[in-house]
């Protein structure tokens, strides 16, 4: 049995290095950088390595940990492991944490296990998540994806019930398009339980939330960022590092084949990795962006996180970490969050039209 040493959090964790930002117009605050448990908290990563990351994150002022029912691998493992971490390291600190989870993708066999947005699936999934986590409630529960086969009234009604039943303090949505976001907000307002936050993918190489919606009901031509700003809704951006592409992992790769074979890179193992991202064009773009980061005195990952946080609509950047050193480097982004227009223009020369869209506006 693994026995960890007792954990005493850093006394200076709230001394100002980590900014905390309001979630839109609402009272809840999130750290500017939050930790996502998507890839590195399942059963493939040693438990003590996970523990070191979580403890270091909290010492750095990261108070928000983000999960989903299907995070692993295998699905559900991240929640189960995090539940153990909560009991071992954070049992007396629950009131200092914001813990979120989601449901929307495949989770268990049969017609009720997803993907979906039905009341049955969302409630059954959240109850299972709470059991794995060992919690009575989560702070934020998300509809992980818009479900075209379920009336949105049913999905949003389930979110309303989840808050009223005490299973979650707040609710949010993830990867909804601009018009679906407006519709969801209106339905929630009528029920009296606001949707306070949206979780979209967003990075220098993945700009879908900036683009005017071009679906069937694009009469307003709004972007998702337009809706978030207008409705004063919070936004937590996932994959700001484009699943590791905006890090130093691939800078020395001579070809997409070399990049995919790099040990330890997400391209070498992650089932969610899209091989089409490793093109020669994208590798050239990443090297160009790295030169700009160096001129700013930052690593590429630090500049990528700072770039996302430059937007006033963005509450927090949701990052992953496979080891403590990577987390330390990422949080270093906070030392320089300012961009002049000349630098932004130079970034756009490499970043625009990169053909990278991770779980974005393909959802209706």
Q: Look at residue 250 in the predicted model and tell me its pLDDT.
A: 84
Does residue 285 lie within any of the structural domains?
A: no
* Distance of alpha carbon 167 from the chain centroid: 21
Cis, bond preceding 73 (omega within 30 deg of 0)? yes
In a domain, 137, yes or no: yes
Instruction: Tell me, yes or no, whether 110 lies in a domain.
Output: yes
C-alpha distance from residue 104 to each of 51, 143, 280, 341 (Å): 27, 6, 34, 39
- pLDDT computed for residue 261 by the predictor: 55
When divided into structural domains, the chain yields a total of 1
d(CA 87, CA 251) in angstroms, rounded, equals 39
| Domain contains 296 | no
> Does residue 295 sit in helix, strand or coil?
helix
**How far is the C-alpha of 172 from the C-alpha of 28, rounded, in Å?**
13
CB 4 within 8 A of CB 319: no
Residue 322 placed within a domain: yes
Whether 123 contacts 157, CB under 8 Å: no
pLDDT at 281: 85
Residue 221: predicted pLDDT = 86
Distance CA 143, CA 134 (A): 21
For the chain, list residues with pLDDT below 70: 1-4, 216-220, 253-277, 354-364
Spatial contact of 214 and 184, defined as CB atoms under 8 Å apart:
no
CB under 8 Å to 330, separation ≥6 — which residues? 33, 241, 301, 302, 305, 319, 321
Is residue 262 a part of any domain in this protein?
no
Q: Is 301 helix (H, G, I), strand (E, B) or coil?
A: helix
Distance in angstroms (rounded) separating the CA atoms of residues 243 and 105: 19
Does residue 346 belong to any structural domain of this protein?
Answer: no
The CATH number assigned to the domain holding 179 equals 3.20.20.100
pLDDT of residue 66: 99
Q: Specify if 150 maps to a domain.
A: yes
pLDDT at 264: 61
- Which residues, 6 or more positions from 87, have their beta carbon under 8 angstroms from its beta carbon? 134
Which domain covers residue 193, as residue numbers?
20-251+303-338
């Amino acid at each position: 049995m693994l026995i960890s040493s007792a954990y005493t959090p850093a006394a200076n964790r709230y001394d100002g290095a980590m900014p905390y930002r309001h979630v839109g117009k609402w009272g809840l605050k999130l750290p500017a950088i939050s930790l996502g448990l998507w890839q590195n908290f399942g059963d493939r990563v040693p438990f003590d390595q996970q523990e070191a990351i979580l403890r270091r994150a909290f010492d750095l002022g990261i108070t928000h940990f983000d999960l989903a029912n299907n995070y692993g691998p295998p699905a559900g493992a991240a929640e189960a492991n995090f539940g153990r971490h909560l009991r071992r390291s954070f049992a007396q600190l629950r009131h200092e944490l914001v813990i979120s989870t989601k449901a929307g993708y495949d989770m268990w066999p049969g017609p009720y296990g997803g993907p979906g947005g039905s009341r049955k699936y969302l409630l059954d999934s959240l109850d299972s998540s709470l059991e794995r986590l060992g919690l009575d409630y989560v702070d934020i529960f998300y509809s992980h994806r818009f479900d075209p086969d379920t009336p949105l009234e049913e999905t949003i009604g389930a979110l309303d019930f989840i808050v009223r039943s005490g299973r979650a303090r707040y609710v949010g949505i993830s990867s909804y398009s601009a018009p679906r976001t407006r519709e969801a907000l209106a339905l929630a307002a009528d029920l009296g339980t606001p949707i306070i936050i949206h979780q979209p993918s967003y990075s220098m190489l993945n700009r879908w939330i900036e683009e005017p919606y071009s679906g069937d009901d694009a009469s307003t031509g709004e972007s998702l960022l337009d809706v978030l700003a207008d409705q004063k809704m919070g936004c937590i951006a996932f994959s700001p590092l484009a699943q590791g592409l905006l890090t130093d992992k691939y800078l020395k790769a001579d070809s997409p084949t070399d990049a995919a074979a790099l040990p330890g890179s997400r391209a070498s193992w992650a089932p969610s990795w899209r091989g089409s991202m490793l093109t020669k064009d994208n590798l050239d773009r990443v090297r160009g962006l790295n030169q700009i980061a160096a001129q700013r005195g930052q690593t590429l990952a630090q500049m990528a996180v700072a770039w996302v946080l430059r937007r006033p609509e963005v509450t927090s950047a949701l990052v992953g970490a496979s080891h403590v050193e990577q987390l330390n480097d990422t949080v270093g982004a906070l030392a320089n969050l300012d961009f002049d227009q000349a630098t932004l223009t130079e970034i756009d020369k490499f970043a625009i039209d990169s053909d990278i869209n991770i779980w974005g506006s393909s959802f209706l």
